[in-house]
Chains A and B, each alone.
Chain A
Amino acid sequence: KNQVEQSPQSLIILEGKNCTLQCNYTVSPFSNLRWYKQDTGRGPVSLTIMTFSENTKSNGRYTATLDADTKQSSLHITASQLSDSASYICVAALYGNKLVFGAGTILRVKS
């Protein structure tokens, strides 16, 4: 069964601190791994896309890692800001562009 599991379910951190979100996936045939940010009341916005040959990819203060052997990915947020408060969704893409979504990690950044 194709599935994506994320942890933690929710997280509260202080502004300026770093945090790391985890993702485990079981999909076949695997094409790429994506991280999306979804602000409340909005649609998801793509942060990073990594194929199985890529270990890390950055987008500003967001850095995603991928271990295709263990089928694990992480999203590291550096120097968090209040605007980082959102749901972060890990998505495994199969060939044919079929996406398998995780349930998301809800991040709240407090001042």
Chain B
Amino acid sequence: EAGVAQSPRYKIIEKRQSVAFWCNPISGHATLYWYQQILGQGPKLLIQFQNNGVVDDSQLPKDRFSAERLKGVDSTLKIQPAKLEDSAVYLCASSIGQETQYFGPGTRLLVL
């Protein structure tokens, strides 16, 4: 069974630029999550999708972050414009309902 795929693995941008991350969940997993993990901290949920609908985006900075999950499969997370404090690892995870969440390898973002 293929795991959660994410790309790119690394991204370096300058502040005020835009960036997008892509995630392809495990086949059949209806629930998809985006997390932000700052160095030395645990992951923080940004947004949770159930199929193509948003379940929880209470911690998503909506003035600069957006996410979509068209057709209820893969998803993109966008930051526009990026700030220095957005430097982090962005993790995508998927699950079947309330079951274990399976994480992808993450995208490491550095904002200069």
> Could you tell me which A residues sit within 8 Å of B by CB distance?
4, 31, 34, 41-46, 49, 89, 91, 96-99, 101-104
Interfacial chain B residues near A46, Cβ < 8 Å: 100-102
Cβ-defined contact, A42 with B106, below 8 A: yes
Give 18 CB contacts A-B under 8 Å: A34-B100, A41-B108, A42-B105, A43-B4, A43-B91, A43-B93, A44-B91, A46-B102, A89-B43, A97-B101, A98-B45, A98-B56, A99-B101, A101-B43, A102-B42, A103-B41, A103-B42, A104-B42
> Could you tell me which B residues sit within 8 Å of A by CB distance?
4, 31, 40-45, 48, 56, 91, 93, 95, 97-98, 100-106, 108
Interfacial chain A residues near B101, Cβ < 8 Å: 46, 97, 99
Given contacts A4-B42, A42-B105, 12 further A-B contacts (CB under 8 A): A41-B106, A41-B108, A43-B93, A43-B105, A44-B43, A46-B100, A89-B43, A96-B98, A97-B31, A98-B45, A99-B101, A104-B42
Given A97-B31, A98-B45, A99-B45: A43 and B103 interface contact (C-beta under 8 Å): yes
Tally the A-B contacts, defined by beta carbons under 8 Å.
46
Compute how far the CA of A41 lies from the CA of B103 in the bound complex, rounded to whole angstroms.
Answer: 12
Chain A nearest CB: distance from B5 CB in Å? 11
Cβ-defined contact, A41 with B42, below 8 A: no
Interface class of chain A by DSSP: strand
Which of A91, A97, A104 is the one whose CB lies under 8 Å from B95? A97
Compute how far the CA of A102 lies from the CA of B44 in the bound complex, rounded to whole angstroms.
Answer: 10
Chain A nearest CB: distance from B55 CB in Å? 8
Interfacial chain B residues near A99, Cβ < 8 Å: 45, 101
Chain B nearest CB: distance from A36 CB in Å? 8
Cβ-defined contact, A44 with B45, below 8 A: no
Cβ-defined contact, B42 with A89, below 8 A: yes
Cβ-defined contact, B42 with A49, below 8 A: no
